[in-house]
């Protein structure tokens, strides 16, 4: 699997996700500066977490127009897998690759803690190592994580199997909603399920020393599907 | 002398605006009764070289659609005023 991580000014999880990918693939991961418009042939493009452009204007709004993003949009349309984590998710919605938007958390606080998310779809390049309905414990760290979309868009996402993850209280437990997200949504796919955006940080849960390694399932899924 | 475009960007009706709500609560604590709802947006001023008001508005509108506003969650309104105008 040839993977690249895009580095924007203000990205701060770029190296973490590189480590997580290299742990899963045992292959070097390319780091691409956002100002580069050319990309090598790739199987996976990752937009990492952080605070690109200081979250000025709106989270992800400036990064969505970085030179590299024209190429990312093009590759995504060709079916190349694109993963956006946290700020990467915000960038994907601002770039129009995923529906909806991320608003400030309903409680107006930055939330940094472990949450549980339920895997809604297992037949995807991102989640094939998970059972549908299984629960992962992964950290969130965001101020603007409230997923919003119009009711008809939400209905369509649910009907077409584009909801990737939902917040929940734990295995075999009820729903949860740390940030006010519509329908407890923590992550969504595009229509082809080749683009995933999620607020939780799987790359921060890939080693027992992180306090958990549930995030590995995502990277293992990608290797299984794309290697 | 060019024109100034004053762009107001504000959350759409139905979009939760927690900042507006917090401001409303603070106004209530200060004794300002009768404020039914507070919605917080932002004001962006653009000093343009364009001197034709219709063209200036068209430029600002394009800027809003492509960057200044996210029309999934925000509406916007544009005022065209003289440079240095209030």
Mean pLDDT throughout A167-175?
91
pLDDT for residue B85: 60
pLDDT for residue B86: 58
The A residues from 42 to 101 touching B (CB cutoff 8 Å) are: 57-58, 61-62, 65, 93-94, 100-101
pLDDT means per 10 residues in chain B (86 residues)? 94 92 95 94 97 97 98 97 77
Q: Assign A176 a pLDDT band (cuts: 50, 70, 90).
A: very high
Q: Does B19 touch chain A (CB under 8 A)?
A: yes
* A101: nearest CB among B19, B22, B70: B70
At the topology level of CATH, where does B3-15+41-82 sit? Mth169; Chain: A , (3.30.1280)
Domain residue spans of chain B:
3-15+41-82
CA distance B18 to A28: 43
Q: Assign A100 a pLDDT band (cuts: 50, 70, 90).
A: very high
A111-119 and A163-168 strand pairing: antiparallel
Domain residue spans of chain A:
3-226
**CA of A226 vs chain B CAs: smallest distance (Å):** 33
Mean pLDDT throughout A108-134?
97
Residue A47, beta-bridge partner list: A84
Q: At what angle do helices A14-25 and A216-226 cross, to 10 degrees?
A: 60
Residues of B in contact with A94 (CB under 8 A): 70
* B18: nearest CB among A58, A94, A108: A108
Mean pLDDT throughout A117-126?
97
| Residues of A designated catalytic | 86, 201, 203
pLDDT for residue B1: 79
Residue among A193, A183, A179, A178 at smallest CA distance from A98: A193
Mean pLDDT throughout A81-108?
97
Is it the case that residue A23 has pLDDT exceeding 90?
yes
Mean pLDDT throughout A153-172?
96
Report the SS3 class of residue B54: helix
Residues of B in contact with A58 (CB under 8 A): 70
How is residue A33 written in tokens?
A: 């500066």
The three state secondary structure string of chain A is CCEEEEECCCECCHHHHHHHHHHHHCCCCEEEECCCCCCCCCCEEEECCECHHHHCCCCCCCHHHCHHHHHHHHHHHHCCEEEEECHHHHHHHHCCCCCCEEECCCCCCCEEEEEEEEECCCCCCCCCCCCCCCEEEEEEEECCCEEECCHHHHHHHHHCCCEEEEEECCCCCCECCCCCCHHHEEEEECCCCCEEEECCCHHHCCEHHHCECCCHHHHHHHHHHHC
pLDDT for residue A172: 83
Is it the case that residue A154 has pLDDT exceeding 80?
yes
**CA of B21 vs chain A CAs: smallest distance (Å):** 10
The B residues from 59 to 78 touching A (CB cutoff 8 Å) are: 66-68, 70, 72-73
Question: Does the A3-226 domain belong in CATH 3.40.50.300?
Answer: no
pLDDT for residue A80: 98
pLDDT for residue B83: 85
How is residue A124 written in tokens?
A: 């995807």
Report the SS3 class of residue B43: strand
Answer whether A104 sits within 8 Å of B70, measured CB to CB: no
């Amino acid at each position: 699997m040839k993977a690249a991580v895009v580095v924007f000014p203000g990205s701060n999880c770029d190296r973490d996700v590189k480590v997580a990918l290299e742990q899963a693939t045992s292959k070097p991961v390319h780091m691409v500066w956002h100002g580069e418009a050319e990309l090598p042939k790739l199987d996976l493009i990752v937009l990492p977490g952080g605070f690109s452009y200081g979250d000025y204007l709106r989270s992800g709004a400036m990064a969505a127009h970085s030179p590299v993003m024209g190429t990312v949009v093009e590759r995504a349309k060709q079916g190349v897998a694109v993963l956006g984590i946290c700020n990467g998710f915000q960038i994907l919605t601002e770039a129009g690759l995923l529906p909806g938007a991320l608003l400030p958390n309903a409680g107006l606080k930055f939330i940094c803690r472990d949450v549980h998310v339920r895997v809604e779809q297992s037949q995807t390049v991102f989640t094939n190592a998970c059972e549908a309905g299984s629960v992962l414990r992964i950290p969130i760290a965001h101020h603007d994580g409230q997923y919003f979309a119009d009711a008809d868009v939400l209905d369509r996402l649910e009907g077409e199997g584009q909801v990737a993850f939902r917040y929940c209280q734990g295995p075999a437990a009820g729903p949860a909603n740390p940030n006010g997200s519509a329908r407890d949504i923590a992550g969504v796919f595009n229509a082809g399920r080749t683009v995933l955006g999620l607020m939780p940080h799987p790359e921060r849960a890939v080693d027992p020393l992180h306090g958990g390694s549930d995030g590995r399932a995502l990277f293992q899924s990608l290797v299984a599907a794309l290697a | 002398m060019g024109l100034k475009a004053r762009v107001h960007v504000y959350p759409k009706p139905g979009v939760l605006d927690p900042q507006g709500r917090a401001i409303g609560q603070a106004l209530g604590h200060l004794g300002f009764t009768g404020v039914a709802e507070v919605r917080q947006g932002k004001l962006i001023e653009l000093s343009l070289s364009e001197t034709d008001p219709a063209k200036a508005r068209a430029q600002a509108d394009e800027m809003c659609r492509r960057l200044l506003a996210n029309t999934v969650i925000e509406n916007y309104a544009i005022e065209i005023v003289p440079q240095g105008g209030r």
